[in-house]
Amino acid sequence: MIRLLLRDIVLAVRAGGGFGLGLAFFLIVTVLVPFGVGPEADLLSRIAPGILWVGALLSCLLSLDRIFQLDFEDGTLDLLATAPIPMEGVVAVKALAHWLTTGLPLVLAAPVFGVLLNLPGPGYVWLVASLALGTPALSMIGAFGAALTVGLKRGGLLLSLLVLPLYVPTLIYGTEVARRGAEGLDLGAPIALLAGITLAALALLPFAAAAAIRVNLR
């Protein structure tokens, strides 16, 4: 399992575009928003948590189809399916690798982008906390979507269509934590719910995704 994790990370790093592409996309979304809504600092600081969350979510979406697609095309997935590790474990490890190469850099870079959007002072900690807590769910839900569409020739668009509605609860609780944090409000409820969604996704979705992959391989 560790081997698979290390291999996926090495592949992402060497193939390029793993860390870089998602982050660059996140930056561009963050830069485009002020062009769209105007440069007033008040408005930007009010919408900053939401924009950063939506930006992180979209950057995460960008690399989802690579979780299984390449391994499916070159036959690795067939070989992994006959290897002595459970498919559920493969899915979980691949989602973790996706998070480490996409989600984690987004979490770490978010404060920098927060500066661009005038995020209020107390908001930084909670922005990072909410992203750190929520992005694993994004990767896991995304891995489920990728597992459903792995057998399809042009699955990318369908993948987005399937995954984005599933992201709604995570996005709502995540931005709520970040927003309340920025405004200095009580955020116990949303942070507990966000953690709940993430834990539930991590606990249950590997089984659904593994079932989908087995169906797609036959």
* Residue (116 or 172) nearer to other proteins, CB: 172
Find the binding residues for other proteins in span 13-32 (CB under 8 A): 14-15
* Residue (39 or 84) nearer to other proteins, CB: 84
Interaction between residue 82 and other proteins (CB under 8 A): yes
Interaction between residue 54 and other proteins (CB under 8 A): no
Interaction between residue 78 and other proteins (CB under 8 A): yes
Per-residue mark of binding to other proteins, 156-195 (x: CB under 8 A): --x--xx-xxx-xx--xx--x------------xx--x--
CA atoms within 13 A on the CB side of 120: 15
Q: Measured from the CB of residue 178, what is the shortest distance to other proteins in angstroms?
A: 13
* Residue (41 or 204) nearer to other proteins, CB: 204
* Residue (33 or 177) nearer to other proteins, CB: 177
Residues 6+ away with beta carbon under 8 Å from 147:
68, 91, 208, 209, 210, 212, 213, 216
* Residue (32 or 215) nearer to other proteins, CB: 215
Which residue from 98, 205, 208, 73 is spatially nearest to 150, judged by alpha carbons? 73
Only segment of 28-36, 50-58, 109-117, 144-152 that touches other proteins (CB under 8 A): 144-152
Residue with tokens 């900053």: 48
Interaction between residue 11 and other proteins (CB under 8 A): yes
Q: Out of 21, 43, 80, 104, which residue is the one contacting other proteins (CB under 8 A)?
A: 80
Three-class secondary structure assignment of the chain: CHHHHHHHHHHHHHHCCCHHHHHHHHHHHHHHHHHHHCCCHHHHHHHHHHHHHHHHHHHHHHCHHHCCHHHHHCCHHHHHHHCCCCHHHHHHHHHHHHHHHHHHHHHHHHHHHHHHCCCCCCHHHHHHHHHHHHHHHHHHHHHHHHHHHCCCCCHHHHHHHHHHHHCHHHHHHHHHHHHHHHHCCCCHHHHHHHHHHHHHHHHHHHHHHHHHHHHHHC
How many residues lie near other proteins (CB under 8 A)?
51
Interaction between residue 45 and other proteins (CB under 8 A): no
Contacting positions for other proteins (CB under 8 A): 2-4, 7, 10-11, 14-15, 71, 73-76, 78-85, 144, 148-149, 151-152, 155, 158, 161-162, 164-166, 168-169, 172-173, 176, 189-190, 193, 197, 204-205, 208, 211-212, 215-218
